[in-house]
Amino acid sequence: MNANGTWQGTLASSNTHESVTLLLAGPVARCTAWHTALQADARFRVTSLATDAQDARAKLSAHPEILLLDAALFAGPGPLVDFLTAVEGAVYVLLPPQATPSEVEGVRQVEMVKGVFTGDINLLELAGRMYADALALRQKRAGGLDAVWNRPTGGSGPVGLRVITVWNQMGGVGKTTISTNLAYEAARRGFPTLLIGLGAPDDLPLILGLKPSPNITSWWTNSSPDGLRLSIQKVDTLDVIAGFPDVLSEAQAMSTPVEAPNSIPNLIKTAAHYAGYAVVVVDAPPTSLAANAISVSNTLVLVARPSLEGVMRTVEAYRTISERLAGEHRIPSNAVHVVLNRMGDRLAAEEWHRAASSMLGRSFPPIIAQIPDEAAIGHAQDQRRVPLAASDGFARALKPLADQLLQINSAPGIASSPKKTINLGIVKLKV
């Protein structure tokens, strides 16, 4: 997450009652003026500011719902139109006063451009239209998913979104147990939550009592919010997309380019941006497919055994994301958490953490929960019940993890905290 809140833009959930996300792009003075004008308007949330063309292009990756752009950032109509064709949100463009009618028309022709102005924009007048356009786009993209959403009951709902990958490079450590129960708890707390399995054959149908299909392969045949809906099964209020039915389908996913519409990153992005989930939890396998999930997550939970071998494997997993996959994901180091699973007579949490820090050569991410080794956990899964409901000890132990990750309004990097400094390079804005 960088200081200007790009993260927040990426992560905005898309419930209709929430403010719409806005990218302001223009010279510093223009951004400052626009920002001041929009700040007090609860319908909008300025998630990023860009003061040059390259920066604006980079910040489109956060999928702002509205782009308010001063064309002065571009050398001329050609580069401007090129840029505009890449925008997915509603765009309002301010052209210089000397723009010719044909230049104005050229910009107006771009699909997502909803308004073109010359000289100045009266934001007070425009705000209502921008908001209506953004909501209309939101609704269009949600594609009628309302029927399966688990909307939070009451309250204003979360303003941020968690995409949580639960992972380690080891099998059998408790990834599935932790991810299913964390997701179940998120749904129980009222967050619209989607759990995605990536195993092959996936354990989720087995332990959650689901049918073999639909599953993630349904998404391949229809890679749209509708296709996503058709892939879902429900466990109480939790939506679940079960993983691969066999290794052949897993192999097919592995050979799918990440940019393809039916890729796993795109499935997760569709859930996050267009389907209205506030929490997406991915039960990631030890295979290379985990990178697909990590690349679009903002939170990582490493599940580890409380043994020296567990330390070694987990340090290795952390190095993978902090070194080898650096630049290929946007998980800040303070959004990596360790869960020690099956505590017993092996290493105590402090010993584990000390060993991990010493092996890594710097402080290892914190241990956020310690789950006891309890026969009731396995028994519940054998009976296709969620252990949370079957074991108080397990529920108590998992609580710190859920509390930390589901404080969505104040989560680091996702917060819309009352005072935050936006660094524009030249000026600093308090928002």
Ligand X SMILES: Nc1ncnc2c1ncn2[C@@H]1O[C@H](COP(=O)(O)OP(=O)(O)O)[C@@H](O)[C@H]1O
Binding site for ligand X (CB under 6 A): 171-177, 203, 341-342, 371, 373-374, 377-378, 381
Residue 411: both structure tokens together = 């989560």
Closest CB to Mg ion among 50 and 198?
A: 198
Closest CB to ligand X among 157 and 285?
A: 285
Find out whether the peptide bond into 214 is cis, omega within 30 degrees of 0.
Answer: yes
Tell me how far, at minimum, the Cβ of 383 lies from Mg ion, in Å: 18
Tell me how far, at minimum, the Cβ of 342 lies from ligand X, in Å: 5
Report which residue type is found at 130: M
Work out what residue 41 binds among Mg ion, ligand X, none; the CB cut-off runs from 5 to 8 Å by kind: none
Tell me how far, at minimum, the Cβ of 171 lies from Mg ion, in Å: 7
Residues 233 and 229: their CA atoms lie apart, in Å, by: 9
CB of 343 within 8 A of CB of 306?
A: yes
Closest CB to ligand X among 107 and 340?
A: 340
Tell me how far, at minimum, the Cβ of 290 lies from Mg ion, in Å: 11
Tell me how far, at minimum, the Cβ of 275 lies from ligand X, in Å: 25
Query: Which run of H or of E encompasses 370?
Result: strand 367-372
Site string for Mg ion, 165-204 (x = CB under 5 A): ----------xx----------------------------
* Half-sphere exposure at residue 61, Cβ-oriented, CA atoms within 13 angstroms: 12
DSSP alpha helices (H): ranges in 260-362?
264-273, 290-294, 308-319, 349-360
Closest CB to Mg ion among 243 and 306?
A: 243
Work out what residue 366 binds among Mg ion, ligand X, none; the CB cut-off runs from 5 to 8 Å by kind: none
Residues 51 and 24: their CA atoms lie apart, in Å, by: 8
Closest CB to ligand X among 23 and 173?
A: 173
Tell me how far, at minimum, the Cβ of 199 lies from Mg ion, in Å: 5
What number of other Cβ atoms are within 10 A of residue 188's Cβ?
A: 17
Taking each helix axis from N to C end, the angle separating 392-405 and 375-382, rounded to the nearest 10 degrees, works out to 90
Taking each helix axis from N to C end, the angle separating 123-142 and 28-39, rounded to the nearest 10 degrees, works out to 80
> Under the rule (CB under 5 A), what is the footprint of Mg ion?
175-176
